[in-house]
A and B are shown apart, each in its own frame.
Chain A
Amino acid sequence: MKLGVLELRDISKSFPGHQAVDRVTFEIPRGEFFSLLGPSGCGKTTTLRLVAGFDSPTSGEIFLNGASIQDRKPYERNVSTVFQNYALFPHLTVQQNVEFGLRRSTPPPDLADRVRGVLELVQLTRKESRYPGELSGGEKQRVALARSLVVQPDVLLLDEPLSALDPNLRKHVRAELKSLQRRVGITFLFVTHDQEEALSLSDRIAVMNGGRIEQVGTPQELYLKPRSRFVASFLGQVNWIDGFGVRPEAIRISKSNPDGVSCRPATITRSSFLGNRIHVESRFPDGAPVVAEVSRLEENFREGESVHLWWRAADELRFGD
Chain B
Amino acid sequence: MKRLRSVFLAPSWAVMLCLMIVPLGIVLLYSLLTRGAYGGAGLPWSLESYRRLADPLYLAVLARSFWIAGVTTVLCVMLGFPLALFISRSGPRKNLYLSLVILPFWTSFLIRIYAWMFLLRDTGLINTVLARLHLIREPLPLLYNDGAVILGLVYAYLPFMVLPLYATLERLDPILLDAAADLGARPWEAMLRVTLPLARAGFIAGSVLVFIPCIGAYLTPDLLGGGKTVLIGNLIQNQFTTARDWPFGAAASLVLMALVMALLMFLIRRRGEALL
Binding site for B on A (CB under 8 A): 52-54, 73-75, 79-81, 83, 85, 87-91, 100-101, 104, 147-148, 151
Contacts and interface: CB of A to CB of B under 8 A. Distances in A.
B173 to A, nearest CB: 7
B198 interface: yes
Interface residues of B, number: 17
6 contacts: A79-B182, A85-B175, A87-B178, A87-B179, A89-B194, A104-B184
A43 B271 CA distance: 44
Contacts of B181: 53-54, 73-75
Nearest to A144: B179
Given A74-B178, A81-B179, A151 B184 contact: yes
Contacts of B185: 75, 100
A87 B184 contact: no
Point out which of B182, B184, B185, B198 has the most chain A C-beta atoms below 10 A from its C-beta. Answer: B182
B197 interface: yes
A100 B185 CA distance: 9
A147 B183 contact: yes
B183 A101 contact: yes
A192 B173 CA distance: 23
Interface string B136-156: 000000000000000000000
A83 B179 contact: yes
Contact of B197 (A81, A87, A88, A91): A91
Given A91-B197, A91-B198, A75 B184 contact: yes
A67 B182 CA distance: 18
A88 B198 CA distance: 12
A89 B182 contact: no
A147 B179 CA distance: 10
Q: Is the interface of B mostly helix, strand, loop or mixed?
A: helix
B197 A52 contact: no
Given A75-B186, A100-B193, 16 more contacts: A54-B178, A73-B181, A74-B181, A81-B179, A83-B179, A88-B179, A89-B179, A89-B180, A89-B194, A90-B198, A91-B197, A100-B180, A101-B183, A104-B184, A148-B182, A151-B184
Contacts of A87: 173, 175-176, 178-179
A22 B109 CA distance: 59
A89 B176 contact: yes
Contact of B183 (A54, A73, A80, A85): A80
Contacts of A89: 176, 179-180, 194
Contacts of A79: 182
B262 to A, nearest CB: 27
A71 B181 CA distance: 15
Contacts of A52: 178, 182
Contacts of B179: 81, 83, 87-89
Nearest to B179: A87
Q: Which 3 A-B pairs have the closest CB atoms?
A: A101-B183, A74-B181, A87-B179
Contacts of B178: 52, 54, 74, 81, 83, 87
Nearest to A49: B178
Contacts of A147: 183
Contacts of A151: 183-184
A100 B183 contact: yes
A101 B185 CA distance: 7
A316 to B, nearest CB: 46
Contacts of B180: 89, 100
B176 A81 contact: no
Interface string B167-178: 000000101101
Contacts of A80: 182-183
A104 B183 CA distance: 10
Contacts of A101: 183-184
Nearest to A150: B183
A90 B175 CA distance: 12
B201 to A, nearest CB: 10
Nearest to B183: A101
Nearest to A77: B182
Nearest to B173: A87
A52 B185 CA distance: 13
B193 A83 contact: no
A181 B60 CA distance: 68
A187 to B, nearest CB: 16
Contacts of B173: 87
Contacts of A104: 184
B98 to A, nearest CB: 25
A73 B184 CA distance: 9
A101 B181 CA distance: 9
A68 B272 CA distance: 50
A214 to B, nearest CB: 28
Nearest to B175: A87
A87 B193 CA distance: 14
A96 to B, nearest CB: 10
Interface in B216-270: none
A85 B175 CA distance: 9
